[in-house]
Amino acid sequence: METTAVSKRAIAATYEQIRSHVRRTPVIEVDGADFGLSASPLLFKLELLQHTGSFKPRGALASLLSRPVPPAGVVAASGGNHGLAVAFAARKLGVRAKIFVPGVSAATKRERIREMGAELVITGERYADALAASREYAAHSGAREVHAYDQLETLLGQGTVALEMERQCWPAARGGLDTRGGLDTRGGLDAGGGPDARGGLDPRGGLDTRGGPDIYAGLDAPCALETPAAPASSPAPNLNGLDTVLVAVGGGGLIGGMAAWFEGRTRLIAVEPRAAPTLYRALEAGHPVDAEAGGIAADSLAPRRVGELMFPLAQRFVDRAVLVEDDAIRAAQQALWRVLRLAAEPGGAAAFAALLSGVYRPAAGERVGVVLCGSNTDAVTF
């Protein structure tokens, strides 16, 4: 499948296909000073509040809804989050699912996959081992493979994260945050309390609970204006209130889909654990190559190599890849819990680790968005 099929128009069409099955996760704006950083706004996209605790259901649902599922059902290999998403999508749509996970997968993710009704197989030590076993099963069973990152539908589904961010954040450039479907930590509900002209609660400073159609659903929305693609090192003038977005990378499905949506209008920074530098090594080599696959986030950000489909998108639209230490990821998890009471798993906190540790340093006045992409951790117990 050619990368040109991963287009902005295709992502918008995919969003219309999956939107009734996924949450429009909130964006919150906080002051960097709350984390000991410079006093400038940070916008967090809370994909850790998505169904199953990660962004993964977007791609899984896009795959299952795109074409008929055979009687044998679907099969997936996963470090945990993708398998959980496929199990969720399969249960929602009433189809069979078999999930292969490696020994490194977290026990909490395995338990939830079983709770979703999927058949779980634990095999090998790393994701690559589980992938090989899942493909062998698909070949003899007739089940349809739902790839975690290197599949058209997966990229299109994950690209809807960028679509939502753009629609939620573009008014920020005019002095205010669009909180439809999101939270603004700067205050509570409008004291007026009545419906606004758009047919729902006034969301200024609070939570949009309308749950209805997005008035900016079309591609002609102001936040989705077409602009000529520019080199990643020199983004086009900001039209959506975000100069830069930091995104964690494993196999690259999320950042690949987001790159296809933003098309260079917003700078994308890929963040990887130093112990699993898949995109970093690929960009150095000029093509996907095997890389180390270890570290604290090995169950979500260590697939050995990035996808073939996402790589041309990364070459064209990702500014660069940066590496963070495991200690920095732990510190980011702790900071998110301490300041915002958000429980992020290591992979979910990796993007913020780049900012908190100083691996990525924004310029003065730069508006930075961070995707918090996963919450499947048992680090916080009650």
CB 122 within 8 A of CB 111: no
- How many Å apart are CA 42 and CA 13, to the nearest integer? 29
pLDDT at 184: 41
- How many Å apart are CA 158 and CA 90, to the nearest integer? 18
Last residue of a domain, one of 118, 145, 172: 145
Residues 241 and 215 in one domain: yes
What's 107's domain CATH number?
Answer: 3.40.50.1100
Residues 106 and 188 in one domain: no
Q: Residue 229 belongs to what domain range? A: 3-55+152-372
pLDDT at 236: 43
Measuring CA to CA, which residue among 373, 279, 367, 358 is closest to residue 318? 279
Last residue of a domain, one of 145, 168, 197: 145
Residues 265 and 349 in one domain: yes
Tell me, yes or no, whether 219 lies in a domain. Answer: yes
Residues 98 and 232 in one domain: no
Residues 29 and 109 in one domain: no
pLDDT at 301: 80
- How many Å apart are CA 109 and CA 106, to the nearest integer? 5
CB 76 within 8 A of CB 146: yes
Residues 120 and 254 in one domain: no
pLDDT at 135: 95
* Count of structural domains, the chain: 2
pLDDT at 107: 87
Tell me, yes or no, whether 379 lies in a domain. Answer: no
What global pTM score does this model have?
A: 0.81
pLDDT at 104: 83
Residues 84 and 216 in one domain: no
Residue numbers in the chain where pLDDT is lower than 70: 1-4, 171-240, 382
Tell me, yes or no, whether 350 lies in a domain. Answer: yes
Residues 255 and 267 in one domain: yes
pLDDT at 3: 57
CB 272 within 8 A of CB 248: yes
Last residue of a domain, one of 113, 145, 177: 145
